[in-house]
Amino acid sequence: MSAQEQIQSTVEANDVVLFMKGTKTMPQCGFSSRVAGVLNYMGIDYQDVNVLENDEIRQGIKDFSDWPTIPQLYIKGEFVGGCDIITEMTLSGELDTMFETNGVAYDKEAADKIREANA
C-alpha cells in the first residue's frame, strides 16, 4: 500500500485524525503538542499518526493535503488545518461547531475553559 493509500485509508476510517510529530501522549514538537493538548483536553477520541516513524507518510501527508506543515487535523475526512488554524478555531468556537456538525463528541465545558483562559 502506498503512502497516499495509507493516508486515505486512515482519514476515511477515523472520524478525527491528527498527523503529528510524536503521539497524543508524547508529542515531539511544540505545534503538535498544542493541537494534541487541545484535543486531549476537550476529550476528543482521535487517531494519532506519528509522521516521525515513516518518512513516506511524513512527506505524503504534505502532498495529500497540499499543506506544507505538520501537524494536520482531519475531521470526517476533511482537512481542517494546522496548529495556527486549530488554535484560532478553538478560541473562536468554530472547532466546537465543526465537531457538533459532524457528530463528534467533545467536552463543551473544557472548550469553554480554553476560551476563558485565553480571553
Q: Which residues are annotated as a binding site?
A: 29
Query: Grid coordinates representing 13?
Result: 476510517
Nearest to 75 by CA among 4, 15, 20, 12: 15
* CA atoms of 112 and 117, how far apart (whole Å): 9
Annotated binding residues for [2Fe-2S] cluster, as ranges?
A: 29
| Strand ranges for the chain from DSSP E | 16-20, 47-50, 72-75, 78-81
Cα distances (Å, whole numbers) of residue 70 to 9, 60, 86:
19, 11, 12
Number of CB atoms found within 10 A of residue 60's CB: 20
